[in-house]
């Protein structure tokens, strides 16, 4: 009997030792969520508006908690970058999302962030931008430099995201010298966004006056076009042109001398006239003509 009691006491002591060695339970962690316990923030408005909501931060601990606030993926702003939440208290912190005038229509994603004690909590933000749909694209600042590189800027003037296609055409004094069909650029333009691009032209003319036209299209948007002019004159073309002019002038001078010689011989062969008089008659006749 005594042995049984001794064994029971030993077991109880061992159990008490395990309980004493166990770490104390961790204090409850602070939380952050959309007001009223929502799993995410949902906002809807038109471009140019300012939308507001509230983030609830709860501190169940025994000490005040200072939380850093911020946002990602959306133009979001709090009244203050930090908030101190007293012990066992919940703080409701308002914030605003500014929907800029160039924000595209449709759904956008972002998040509200709260960080404290080496821990960060993110609350999803679902933003829907509504309003009339307008697709508008312009081509601006077209320029053709001396190497043949075409410079131009595409601007999204509407309220929808655009996927532009661009074609190039250049006409010279004697016809078309470049005809590059429309092709997708593999990019998108958000409302209000500007994109400056360059396109190489590997074999521009050596001597010509060229008008370049840049044409841009996008689904739902009217076609846009703009152009520029440039005169191409290379050193080789100038040298070749000068050589042609010199050769033509020399040929004309030789032809004139030959014709004068023929006229002089024809007159000198007339009977009864001395050579000196024949030459005089020839010169006079030439002046009359």
For residues 6 and 73, which has the higher predicted lDDT (pLDDT)? 73
Q: Which fold has domain 27-130?
A: Immunoglobulin-like (2.60.40)
Residue 245: pLDDT band (50, 70, 90) is very low
Given a cut of 80, whether residue 272 has pLDDT beyond it is: no
State both tokens at 17: 């030792």
Ranges 10-24, 54-68, 157-171, 272-286: which has the least confidence: 272-286
Please give the CATH superfamily to which domain 137-233 belongs: Immunoglobulins (2.60.40.10)
Write the Ramachandran bin of 164: left for phi over 0, alpha for psi from -120 to 50, otherwise beta: beta
Tens of pLDDT, residues 35-69: 998 999 999 999 889 999 999 999 999 999 999 99
State both tokens at 256: 């004139």
Domains 27-130 and 137-233 are alike in CATH topology = yes
pLDDT value at residue 47: 85
Contact present, 166 and 214 (Cβ < 8 Å): yes
In angstroms, the Cα distances linking 147 to 150, 206, 228, 247 are 9, 10, 15, 30
Q: State what percent of residues in the chain have pLDDT above 70.
A: 72
Residue 289: pLDDT band (50, 70, 90) is very low
- How much is the pTM? 0.56
Tens of pLDDT, residues 142-185: 999 988 899 999 999 998 899 999 999 999 999 999 999 999 99
Contact present, 88 and 60 (Cβ < 8 Å): yes
Show me where the domains of the chain are located. Answer: 27-130, 137-233, 239-288
């Amino acid at each position: 009997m005594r042995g049984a009691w001794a064994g029971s006491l030993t077991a109880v002591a061992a159990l008490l030792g395990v309980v004493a060695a166990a770490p104390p339970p961790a204090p409850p962690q602070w939380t952050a969520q959309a007001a009223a316990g929502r799993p995410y923030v949902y906002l809807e408005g038109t471009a140019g508006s300012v939308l507001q909501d509230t983030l609830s931060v709860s501190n169940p601990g025994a000490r005040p908690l200072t939380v850093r606030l911020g946002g990602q993926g959306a133009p979001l702003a709090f009244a203050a970058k930090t908030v101190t939440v007293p012990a066992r208290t919940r703080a409701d912190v308002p914030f605003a999302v500014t929907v800029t005038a160039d924000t595209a229509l449709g759904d956008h994603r972002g998040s509200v962030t709260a960080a404290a004690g080496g821990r960060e909590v993110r609350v999803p933000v679902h933003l829907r931008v509504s309003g009339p749909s307008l697709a508008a694209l312009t081509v601006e600042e077209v320029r053709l430099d001396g190497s043949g590189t075409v410079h131009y800027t595409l601007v999204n003037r509407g309220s929808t995201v655009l996927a532009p296609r661009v074609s190039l055409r250049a006409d010279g004094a004697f016809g078309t010298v470049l005809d590059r069909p429309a092709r997708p650029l593999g990019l998108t333009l958000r409302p209000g966004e500007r994109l400056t691009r360059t396109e190489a032209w590997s074999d521009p003319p050596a001597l010509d006056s060229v008008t370049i036209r840049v044409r841009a299209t996008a689904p739902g948007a009217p076609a846009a076009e703009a152009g520029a002019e440039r005169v191409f004159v290379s050193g080789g073309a100038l040298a070749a042109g000068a050589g042609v002019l010199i050769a033509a002038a020399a040929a004309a001078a030789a032809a004139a001398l030959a014709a004068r010689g023929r006229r002089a011989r024809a007159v000198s062969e007339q009977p009864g006239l001395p050579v000196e008089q024949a030459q005089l008659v020839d010169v006079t006749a030439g002046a009359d003509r």
